[in-house]
Amino acid sequence: MCLLNLLLHSFIGLIFIQVARADPSSYQWQDSLTSDAAPDWQKYVRSPPNQIVRPVAVLTNYTQGNVTNPNGLLTGKGATTFTRTNISAGTEKDVLPTIVVDFGQNIVGYLSIKFGGASSFNDTPGLPGIRLAFSETLQYLTNVSDFSRSYNGDTITPGSDQIAVNPYPYTWTDVHGCEYGNQVCDDGLHGFRYVKIYLDSLPADAPYTTSYGTVSIDSMSLNFSAFLGTPNTFTGWFESSDDQLNQWWYDGVYTTDMCTDTFGANDSDPRGAASPSLLGKLVILDGAKRDRDPYVGDLAVSARTSYLSHNLPQAARNVLADLADHQRADGWIPPASINNYTLPLLDYPLWWVVCSYDLLMYTGDVAYIQQYYSNIVQVLDTFYPSVTNTQTQLISKGIGISGGYGDYAFLPRSGPVTYYNALYVLALDNAASIATFLDGKQADAARWTARAQNVSASLNKYNFDITNGAFFDGTCGGEAYCETHAQDGNSLSIVTGVANATRANQVLSYLATHNARPYGNSFYDNDAIGAGFSQRVYAFISYFEIEARFIVGSASSALEEIRRLYGWMANHDPTITQWEGIGADGIPYEGAYTSMAHGWATGIVPALTNYILGVIPQGPGFSVYSVKPIPGDVKWAKGVVPTPHGPITVSWNSNPSQGQFYISTTGPAGTKGTVYVPVANASVAVYLDSNPVPQMNGTQSSASQDVGYVAVPINDDQTHVITVGFQMN
């Protein structure tokens, strides 16, 4: 035990005595810094402990044919042997020897199999063939992988990976390519939880492999290719009184870890997405299994997850810089490297601006912003005005080149779509903040702020459906607005302040009534513009609704939505990792193709850190920050937020029935923090380090969302304790 811990223990003793006085019930204040063993949060970390990952089970109920000692490859006690003779070929007994190996959770990388050898049956030509089919779920496990990069333009396999097993002991590793010319081929990298292994050969692989003979496997393992987020790699963490929220936070981190990888020519998906300017760089891909290409909209969520957990700013920066380097002359920025940087999306250049702002705010990368500032100007002042209705100032899909452009879900939208415009406001506001932070850019800031206000006013004037209390999605081809309301634009209208408090509450109430499903909130209220849309849930866009609920102060509804959405994913195969999309009845929305580990679905990580722990950057690199917990039913939270200046450490306890609140915060030197503490009413006393804060002893009436909070400025690197409703000695 170190001196620091000793001091803290005496400090905790003091807190306890004080609480015993203030609250004779058994309530105890807790502090984050009390642990002398391994920090408690480490038990939630999902990363495999080592880069070499071993399977945890052979699923007995999937074993078929003549397989002896199926668990041998797990235990090291004897080999697992597959045998198929042609004695009974064509009869009922002639079942392909098959096992299904479970790695226990979704993983990604290169599989190796240690073979003990193989022998052919009689004089059958060729080596005994083994085929592998990978899957993230049992539901989509078949004789071919749930998804193969061979389905996307590179057809070297029919969906399974093939091995010609040598007669002698050796270790085979799954490498992209073929053993014999264009025969006996493999995909290489896979993202999966389960792998089916069966003795079989493809007719097309003759004469190199045969479906008969004996193959023995001693063991198998996976070389994990993505970022290995073991506990020692965490620069930020989160823990609270709610065990499930805690686990899902670390599940989200692991999901983004699985997408954080070095961009490789043969690993990208589709392989045509491989770009010379990305090769060898650390990036955040969209998914582990599929969409192994970094898209900038996805980064709006996954990059925040990354900044707040492992602080690997280069992974997001490499992507943002590469996309900016491919900006078109008309200001448009490609969403990703796919199709040689030409995939036409209308929303992603706005996400590029938003992600650039986040990079500055979370990591303080001023050099990036200075280098790419002119790209921001071109996006906002050249490209978007070219797709804008000059009268309303709304982006209108159909104007200029925008007609054929898609968005994050390739939705058949048209006209002045609320989502594009609410996102436009967010990008304009973010850009105005960037301009304000830089010297000599005040004119840009003023112009973008004024335009954001105009777009905001037009959205309120033209797009709001007063009857239903929510923003329309857009038009259905003609002039009239469609009778449909989308989660994306409605949520962003609140996040950006387009919707005032009255409208924000109407919108959130509309979404709660019309979009709630057992597995989250759907992205449309009905199927007016697409079949099944009313049953489809994207955790990606749900993040902005969850944020909106916290922003209006409704932690209870934010947590309720989180519990439905993340609870569903956590309890359905493959569990742990968070999904690209959820369809009707809560199944993966695009069947086997769905990526079950998608970084864009990890909004729970920034949501809990920003609103439950309460830490949000308000200036570049957290030079200015706020700490404003919005507890809901969470009793306490503690954690660390990494910043380029050093960690921000926060620990709070809430005892709402007594109107009491305790918070301890420490920020780095040279930063300015504002801690917002909840106060029930103007007569509750607030103390900073046991001293009354008389000038702040009432509810402050500043911004509407800060009603019920008292703001306490913190301008040094000392640990400060603020208490509400009781005084510490």
Ligand X SMILES: *[C@@H]1O[C@H](CO)[C@@H](O)[C@H](O)[C@H]1NC(C)=O
What is Dmax (Cα atoms) for the chain?
94
- Shortest distance (Å) from residue 694 CB to ligand X: 5
- For residues 30 and 83, which CB has a smaller minimum distance to ligand X in the complex? 83
Q: Which of residues 314-343 bind ligand X (CB under 6 A)?
A: 340
- Decide if residue 513 touches ligand X (CB under 6 A): no
- Decide if residue 120 touches ligand X (CB under 6 A): no
- Decide if residue 700 touches ligand X (CB under 6 A): no
Q: How many residues bind ligand X (CB under 6 A)?
A: 45
- Decide if residue 282 touches ligand X (CB under 6 A): no
Among 58, 101, 144, 608, binds ligand X (CB under 6 A): 144
Among 122, 339, 370, 374, binds ligand X (CB under 6 A): 122
- Decide if residue 450 touches ligand X (CB under 6 A): yes
Instruction: From 361-369, 450-458, 515-523, 527-535, give the range in contact with ligand X by CB under 6 A.
Output: 450-458
Give the number of other Cβ atoms within 10 Å of residue 669's Cβ: 9
- Shortest distance (Å) from residue 657 CB to ligand X: 8
Contact 296, 408 (CB under 8 A): no
- Decide if residue 50 touches ligand X (CB under 6 A): no
Q: Which of residues 383-442 bind ligand X (CB under 6 A)?
A: 393
3-state secondary structure of 218: strand
Tokens 């779509």 belong to residue:
417
Q: Where on the phi/psi map is residue 214: left (φ > 0), alpha (ψ -120 to 50), or beta?
A: beta
Q: How far apart are CA 489 and CA 274, in angstroms?
A: 32
Amino acid at 336: A
- Decide if residue 502 touches ligand X (CB under 6 A): yes
DSSP tag of 127 = E
Q: How far apart are CA 296 and CA 303, in angstroms?
A: 9
Among 52, 480, 703, 707, binds ligand X (CB under 6 A): 52
Among 96, 206, 265, 377, binds ligand X (CB under 6 A): 265
- Decide if residue 467 touches ligand X (CB under 6 A): no
- Shortest distance (Å) from residue 389 CB to ligand X: 12
- Decide if residue 155 touches ligand X (CB under 6 A): no
- For residues 370 and 704, which CB has a smaller minimum distance to ligand X in the complex? 704
C-alpha 452, offset from chain centre: 28
For the residues of 563-629, what is the DSSP string, one character each? HHHHHHHHHSTT-SSPPS-B-GGGSBTTGGGS-SSBGGG-THHHHIIIIII-EEE-SGGGSEEEE--
With b for 16 or more beta-carbon neighbours within 10 A and e for fewer, the 695-710 pattern comes to: ebbebeeeeebbebbb
- Decide if residue 711 touches ligand X (CB under 6 A): no
- Shortest distance (Å) from residue 649 CB to ligand X: 28
Instruction: From 154-162, 358-366, 396-404, 634-642, give the range in contact with ligand X by CB under 6 A.
Output: 154-162
Among 28, 223, 247, 575, binds ligand X (CB under 6 A): 223
- For residues 498 and 562, which CB has a smaller minimum distance to ligand X in the complex? 498
Q: How far apart are CA 321 and CA 324, in angstroms?
A: 5
- Shortest distance (Å) from residue 67 CB to ligand X: 8
- Decide if residue 305 touches ligand X (CB under 6 A): no
Instruction: Tell me the residue number closest to ligand X, measured at CB.
Output: 659
- Shortest distance (Å) from residue 639 CB to ligand X: 26
- Decide if residue 196 touches ligand X (CB under 6 A): no
With b for 16 or more beta-carbon neighbours within 10 A and e for fewer, the 72-93 pattern comes to: bbbeeeebbbbbbeeeeeeeee
Among 114, 447, 635, 720, binds ligand X (CB under 6 A): 447
Among 71, 166, 460, 505, binds ligand X (CB under 6 A): 460
Instruction: From 78-86, 555-563, 574-582, 596-604, give the range in contact with ligand X by CB under 6 A.
Output: 78-86
- Shortest distance (Å) from residue 202 CB to ligand X: 7
Instruction: From 445-453, 482-490, 641-649, 705-713, give the range in contact with ligand X by CB under 6 A.
Output: 445-453
For the residues of 635-684, what is the DSSP string, one character each? -EEEEEE--TT--EEEEEEEEGGGTEEEEEEE--TT-EEEEEEE-SSTTS
- Decide if residue 228 touches ligand X (CB under 6 A): no
Task: State phi, psi for 49 to the nearest 5 degrees.
Answer: -70, -25
Among 230, 235, 382, 454, binds ligand X (CB under 6 A): 454
- Decide if residue 138 touches ligand X (CB under 6 A): yes
Instruction: From 157-165, 480-488, 490-498, 563-571, give the range in contact with ligand X by CB under 6 A.
Output: 157-165
- Shortest distance (Å) from residue 333 CB to ligand X: 14
Q: Which of residues 676-695 bind ligand X (CB under 6 A)?
A: 680-681, 683-684, 694-695
Give me the numbers of helices (H) and strands (E) for the chain, helices first please: 15, 30
- Decide if residue 61 touches ligand X (CB under 6 A): yes
Q: What is the 3-state secondary structure (H, E, C) of 51-103?
A: CEECCCEECHHHCECEEECCCHHHHCCCCEEEEECCCCCCCCCCCCCEEEEEE
Tokens 């007995």 belong to residue:
60
- Decide if residue 275 touches ligand X (CB under 6 A): no
Residue whose C-alpha is closest to residue 539's, from 488, 579, 492: 579
- Decide if residue 141 touches ligand X (CB under 6 A): no
Q: Which of residues 163-182 bind ligand X (CB under 6 A)?
A: 176-177
- Decide if residue 158 touches ligand X (CB under 6 A): yes
Q: What is the 3-state secondary structure (H, E, C) of 426-493?
A: HHHHHHHHHHHHCCCCHHHHHHHHHHHHHHHHHHHHHHEECCCCEECCCECCCCCECCCCEHHHHHHH
- For residues 129 and 236, which CB has a smaller minimum distance to ligand X in the complex? 129
- Strand duo 691-692 + 686-688: pairing: antiparallel
Between helix 313-325 and helix 296-309 the angle, nearest 10°, is 160
- Decide if residue 59 touches ligand X (CB under 6 A): yes
Tokens 């609704």 belong to residue:
545
Instruction: From 138-146, 579-587, 609-617, 663-671, give the range in contact with ligand X by CB under 6 A.
Output: 138-146
- Decide if residue 78 touches ligand X (CB under 6 A): no
- Decide if residue 575 touches ligand X (CB under 6 A): no
Q: How far apart are CA 723 and CA 729, in angstroms?
A: 11
Q: How far apart are CA 590 and CA 241, in angstroms?
A: 35
Task: State phi, psi for 27 to the nearest 5 degrees.
Answer: -60, 135
Among 397, 451, 485, 638, binds ligand X (CB under 6 A): 451
Contact 333, 319 (CB under 8 A): no
Among 42, 69, 71, 86, binds ligand X (CB under 6 A): 86
- Shortest distance (Å) from residue 227 CB to ligand X: 11
- Decide if residue 549 touches ligand X (CB under 6 A): no
3-state secondary structure of 151: helix
- Decide if residue 71 touches ligand X (CB under 6 A): no
- For residues 86 and 674, which CB has a smaller minimum distance to ligand X in the complex? 86
The residues of the shown chain that bind ligand X, judged by CB under 6 A, are: 51-52, 59, 61, 66, 68, 81, 83, 86, 122, 124, 138, 143-144, 158-160, 176-177, 212, 214, 223, 225, 265-266, 340, 393, 447, 450-451, 454, 460, 500-503, 659, 680-681, 683-684, 694-695, 697-698
